[in-house]
Amino acid sequence: MVIGDGEFSIHYWYYTGHAEMRAPHAHASYELFYVLDGGRVFFINGTVYTANKGDLIFINSNDVHRTTSSEALKCERVLINFTDAFLQHVISHSPFPLLPVGRSSPVFHFPINEQAAVEELLQKMLQECRLQESGYEMCVQSLLTELLIRMYRHDLKEYERQAPPAHPMHQKISEVASYMNEHFSQQVTLQETARRFFISPSYLSRTFKNVTGFQFSEYLQIIRIREAQRRLRETDEPIGRIAEEVGFDHTANFNVTFKKITGVTPGYYRRSMGS
């Protein structure tokens, strides 16, 4: 159910058994993923998170993410996507930050006594979009604003709340991804990384793909290309130097990889960004 030109959408879904997102992706909108029942595992910008009943995941715009089944092997959820334009007036006039873009974790662990109120807001949004009675867009804006305020209040009250312990292997993959994000400009290899984290290369390769949706080398390339995009936008450095500084031995290989991931050449990307 969509409002405007994709400025807001909301979907309810229930599924059982193993279900996973085929490929990691990113989009220009914000995403709210609320778990009504069961659970879901998320890989967001190099870190693994587990969401269970009563948890809400906030995914910032352009964050690379993927979801897969948790050990519960079922998930009942409501998914919301919205853009800045949908709440532009509210966000610009709010005395406090409505969007938790700088939060250390994307997971909001709502206690049982708050879950009913959150779920009521979600059901009202679904109903408004289903019936589409006069003024339903404004009602949805108001309900979404209330949800964001509840998230803000939750953070104020639960700032010191300790998150549940992560699955040991998920924590290990998060550490590996963090290492890759910090050392992508160096000659990072599967074998060397496996040795560093005391894992066999075959097990690391298999588990990294299962958890993140990326092959080890594929994720490394994406990290390097994202940094190259930033430098192409923000600096006047020659393309060859950028290629070298983000970890590519040869500019030709960089050019091929850049186009494979972004769909355009580095030169075209820089011109389109006005650099």
Q: What is the model's pLDDT at position 64?
A: 87
> Of the candidates 100, 128, 157, which is a domain's last residue?
157
Residue 144 sits in the same domain as residue 34: yes
Residue 85 sits in the same domain as residue 137: yes
Residue 153 sits in the same domain as residue 174: no
Residue 152 sits in the same domain as residue 220: no
Residue 88 sits in the same domain as residue 18: yes
CATH of the domain at 25: 2.60.120.280
3-state secondary structure of 28: coil
For tokens 């949805």, the residue is 140
Residue 8 sits in the same domain as residue 132: yes
Answer whether 205's CB lies under 8 Å from 215's CB. Answer: yes
More confident residue, 2 or 150: 150
Q: What is the model's pLDDT at position 159?
A: 58
Q: Is the pLDDT of residue 241 over 70?
A: yes
Residue 85 sits in the same domain as residue 110: yes
Mean per-residue pLDDT over the chain, rounded: 89
Distance, in Å, from the CA atom of 216 to the CA atom of 145, rounded to the nearest integer, reads 39
Residue 122 sits in the same domain as residue 247: no
Q: Is the pLDDT of residue 90 over 60?
A: yes
Residue 266 sits in the same domain as residue 237: yes
Domain membership of residue 131 as a residue range:
2-157
Residue 163 lies in a domain: no
pLDDT in tens, 195-229: 999 999 999 999 998 888 789 999 999 899 989 99
Tokens (6 digits) for 259: 């186009």
pLDDT in tens, 152-181: 998 887 654 555 556 778 888 989 998 998
Residue 45 sits in the same domain as residue 179: no
Q: What is the model's pLDDT at position 258?
A: 92
Answer whether 84's CB lies under 8 Å from 91's CB. Answer: yes
Total-model pTM: 0.68
pLDDT in tens, 28-84: 899 999 999 999 999 998 899 999 999 999 999 888 898 888 888 889 999 999 999
Residue 132 sits in the same domain as residue 175: no
CA atoms within 13 Å, Cβ hemisphere of 17: 0
Q: What is the model's pLDDT at position 5?
A: 78
Q: What is the model's pLDDT at position 70?
A: 84
